[in-house]
Structure 1
């Protein structure tokens, strides 16, 4: 029997979605949003400077006088530092090198072949869990995961005699709801770490340095558990539901100009050349890992700190960007040479250029993000908000885990409207990282908590541009499907991912477990 929603239910769903869409459509694009916020801080800082507002950071004797941007000192600061504010924006330093290497791994075909190999080697019963793991860890390809993983998952599900729509929607759900975590260190880690590092300068005790591996332990645990959860939901909830609803298992394809069915060029089957390339890549990756491990760990290694160790600070931790760059660029180049997607040296810098081209929207937005962060810190408004907020939390007694849960809820709600993780974290980090540091939490822990809210809810908002791409794929099987159909089927992933991810964070919190090399939860000293 079909379990399709009744007209009344459909009407309520449509009204709810329409309400979210109306509110979301009123938000400007990220560049315009942060330009507006820059203007707000400029005006507010000037008014506060004229009023003689000042703030004293707890634990410091220094009194910070609020400086106004629309003053002689403010205008000269801006004109003298416009370029520095942009080029010195910390995420650029970490993201761009890693992006170049990931770009070679992607453009050479390594990442796509690796994903297809993972799908193709999974037995029928394990397919949902393979899709869950590949989806959760798919952010190594950045947003490309939303386009590549769902249709490939649908193909391997169909080939195994399972419902392809379950693979399609499950792949998207895993890639989106688990977007901020991974067992690997990715460009997202570098991006978040750069933003976090850019807002801790006002603190007398900024805690351990934040780098791309600062959330690694937390990420590994979360990625494994969420991947298993995604597989369970695909297998036990999503696939039975689409089967009961009678969703077709065959695609209804449009015809191309020659009268042949128009199908995607993606295929789940690897060619012999791709298999040889993957084997060569595996050997190259192993040699690279061994070489790096020997160089870093031998006695007297220059990458050790003065005490001969690696924590809390060392040249090794300062070299994380280089390590990640190497672990992507070497396999990417080797795969390209064996598969013949790289035929000459010039192909590698060409792939660098393609990767940067894909990153152009972020590079444009980064200009205003850098200005916003800089004026927020220079003016002292960020310090004032952090101290005022921390004081208010202490006065009402909300300095324990309740404050963290409230932060998760706020991040989850904002993520419905601001899909860009970098934009949302820039906005929230400027306020919450200093605020939570003043009540005793490491900046790296606040960043880890943000990951929960940043990902779980983005697969149920119509403001996610990849929802439209997913709907296009879905309509090949179910021509009458709408956004309501997609959101209703993905809602269990959002709810379960949020609850389980929050539970993982809770365990780390109450057991005071390290969330990354050299990074804990509570500030020391």
Structure 2
């Protein structure tokens, strides 16, 4: 009788995840994806134009004729506007400006020092909640959060006698599943707002202006709730399960592990210089914030609107990009001066150049994104899809809360395949912002709803490149760990975050609460 072990039949979950990975790997990278979509819209618009298709947008006085790219008018439009389509892509105006300042704050070490300071000051019992708080708010560092926060969380967990893998996975889960929300206004808010604004140009009633603050009330509530939820899951679900599984608390010593001799050890503790730098940076932040607040609230301030207020529109709301830029740039430079990462004025442009280099991928992708959005709007295909979709929703009866939940589910599903939030929102906003506007929903609210689906599921898809980085960290403790180990441990965060986040959105919806300054839920 053979002693060989029988092959284990893959579970339904394993087969499903394998199918998702195979399907996702067939998707082209974002630049190629949007190039294909651009060509699809070009062909579809041309056929519709030749067929004489028109669309009547509710509220518009004139009928819109579909225009095709591969027509004399379309080709001359494209050749004359290819540069304007790129430079006029709204996210470029805000994201690049904000990222310059965020990049300086990151590269001088200010953001990492702030993260370590929050971790180091938390008592042992509160560490999971500190990790949850810093993780959810880590989107201020953009994708750097996925690399900086998990290993630091593992360090402080180990130093406190808790399971380091719980800190590692919990930090990643909080940073990824809560990526689209934050107490602070980040470059992501500017990016989403820019894409939404570009789409609303085709609407006869664009609703409340969408800016980086449009979802702030909703974001603050969600960030606080999800931070607490992340801490609870780390403390009560993740860490106990790791203990039951017998996951080692000490790093394995691998034979092929090579540590450079000149690489300084990573520590969660701040040096005296770093603490002094953080103190001065915090002081400069408070000083700048106070100066700006006084300038804005003084009677007769030029940042008030004609009525003397700030809502719904005012120079203050139009200056949000400047405010965010200054609040990151000044503390970042001050921290660099104190810690000697900035020793002369020439270091500042050097850091700014490094920030632009980090944005090179986005700058390239923005070229094709700008062409896609411009063609989608100019051709009239967007209006046609929106009207047809709205009529379909109305005929099916899905024009209320059910439509919102369906939208969340679709965004969550697509997020398994398209990890880039800007790429996914560019696709979905072009269709759903006009569609929902035609049945009475503010573009800013649709953008807020998208945030739920954009983040919750990205920590369980093998298509997330940072999953591989996390797996590399995890194998320091579990050399044989695979993606299945990561996905199984992060799945509770995805489910809980999605349900709680959707519940928060539901409260705002049913109570008709403003989701941000001057931004409501229903079009008037």
Q: What is the TM-score of this pair, normalised by structure 2?
A: 0.97
Residues 362 and 164 (structure 1 numbering): CA distance in 2 closer, same or farther, change over 3 Å? Answer: same
Match of 2:251 in 1: 251
Match of 1:126 in 2: 126
Question: How far apart in 1 are the matches of 2:38 and 2:499?
Answer: 35
Q: Structure 1, residues 278-337: CA drift from partner, whole Å, max 9, x if none?
A: 111111111101100000000000000000000000000000000000100011011111
Match of 1:461 in 2: 461
Q: Does 1:20 align with 2:17?
A: no
Q: Structure 1, residues 368-416: CA drift from partner, whole Å, max 9, x if none?
A: 0000000000000000000110111111111101000000000000000
Match of 1:422 in 2: 422
Q: Does 1:488 align with 2:488?
A: yes
Deviation at 1:343, TM superposition (A): 0.6
Match of 1:145 in 2: 145
Match of 2:240 in 1: 240
Q: Does 1:225 align with 2:217?
A: no
Deviation at 1:61, TM superposition (A): 1.3
Question: How far apart in 1 are the matches of 2:406 and 2:269?
Answer: 46
Matched ranges for 1:29-40 at <5 A:
29-40=29-40
Question: How far apart in 2 are the matches of 1:91 and 1:434?
Answer: 19
Q: Structure 1, residues 409-463: CA drift from partner, whole Å, max 9, x if none?
A: 0000000000000000000000000000110000000000000000000000000
Structure 1: unaligned runs, 5 residues or longer: 1-5
Match of 1:92 in 2: 92
Question: How far apart in 2 are the matches of 1:90 and 1:13?
Answer: 41
Question: How far apart in 2 are the matches of 1:219 and 1:38?
Answer: 32
Matched ranges for 1:242-281 at <5 A:
242-254=242-254, 265-281=265-281
Query: Does structure 2 conserve the Cα–Cα contact (< 8 Å) formed by 1:255 and 1:261?
Result: no
Q: Structure 1, residues 442-490: CA drift from partner, whole Å, max 9, x if none?
A: 0000000000000000000000000000000000001111000000000
- Which stretch of structure 1 is more off in the superposition, 264-273 or 196-205? 264-273
Residues 257 and 136 (structure 1 numbering): CA distance in 2 closer, same or farther, change over 3 Å? Answer: closer
Residues 253 and 145 (structure 1 numbering): CA distance in 2 closer, same or farther, change over 3 Å? Answer: farther
Deviation at 1:266, TM superposition (A): 2.5
Deviation at 1:126, TM superposition (A): 0.2
Q: Secondary structure at the match of 1:471?
A: helix
Residues 356 and 251 (structure 1 numbering): CA distance in 2 closer, same or farther, change over 3 Å? Answer: same
Match of 2:521 in 1: 521
Query: Does structure 2 conserve the Cα–Cα contact (< 8 Å) formed by 1:45 and 1:379?
Result: yes
Question: How far apart in 1 are the matches of 2:260 and 2:58?
Answer: 71
Q: Structure 1, residues 248-296: CA drift from partner, whole Å, max 9, x if none?
A: 0001144689889998842101000000111111111111011000000
Question: How far apart in 2 are the matches of 1:250 and 1:264?
Answer: 20
Question: How far apart in 2 are the matches of 1:264 and 1:167?
Answer: 22
Residues 259 and 348 (structure 1 numbering): CA distance in 2 closer, same or farther, change over 3 Å? Answer: closer
- Which stretch of structure 1 is more off in the superposition, 488-497 or 386-395? 386-395
Query: Does structure 2 conserve the Cα–Cα contact (< 8 Å) formed by 1:256 and 1:262?
Result: no
Match of 2:3 in 1: none
Q: Does 1:344 align with 2:371?
A: no
Question: How far apart in 1 are the matches of 2:211 and 2:114?
Answer: 27
Matched ranges for 1:431-510 at <5 A:
431-510=431-510
Deviation at 1:204, TM superposition (A): 1.1
Residues 490 and 263 (structure 1 numbering): CA distance in 2 closer, same or farther, change over 3 Å? Answer: farther
Matched ranges for 1:272-351 at <5 A:
272-351=272-351
Question: How far apart in 2 are the matches of 1:336 and 1:186?
Answer: 21
Q: Does 1:45 align with 2:32?
A: no
Deviation at 1:10, TM superposition (A): 5.5
Question: How far apart in 2 are the matches of 1:304 and 1:295?
Answer: 10
Q: Secondary structure at the match of 1:199?
A: helix
Question: How far apart in 1 are the matches of 2:265 and 2:24?
Answer: 34
Structure 2: unaligned runs, 5 residues or longer: 1-5
Residues 7 and 177 (structure 1 numbering): CA distance in 2 closer, same or farther, change over 3 Å? Answer: farther
Question: How far apart in 2 are the matches of 1:256 and 1:122?
Answer: 35
Question: How far apart in 1 are the matches of 2:443 and 2:12?
Answer: 41
Residues 50 and 257 (structure 1 numbering): CA distance in 2 closer, same or farther, change over 3 Å? Answer: closer
Question: How far apart in 1 are the matches of 2:170 and 2:284?
Answer: 32
Match of 1:135 in 2: 135
Query: Does structure 2 conserve the Cα–Cα contact (< 8 Å) formed by 1:253 and 1:263?
Result: no
Q: Secondary structure at the match of 1:506?
A: helix
Question: How far apart in 2 are the matches of 1:262 and 1:450?
Answer: 45
Q: Secondary structure at the match of 2:212?
A: coil
Deviation at 1:82, TM superposition (A): 0.3
Q: Secondary structure at the match of 1:343?
A: coil
Deviation at 1:16, TM superposition (A): 2.3
Query: Does structure 2 conserve the Cα–Cα contact (< 8 Å) formed by 1:177 and 1:497?
Result: yes
RMSD over aligned Cα, in angstroms? 1.6
Matched ranges for 1:80-229 at <5 A:
80-229=80-229
Query: Does structure 2 conserve the Cα–Cα contact (< 8 Å) formed by 1:196 and 1:443?
Result: yes
Q: Secondary structure at the match of 1:342?
A: coil
Q: What is the TM-score of this pair, normalised by structure 1?
A: 0.97
Residues 374 and 402 (structure 1 numbering): CA distance in 2 closer, same or farther, change over 3 Å? Answer: same
Query: Does structure 2 conserve the Cα–Cα contact (< 8 Å) formed by 1:254 and 1:262?
Result: no
Match of 1:3 in 2: none
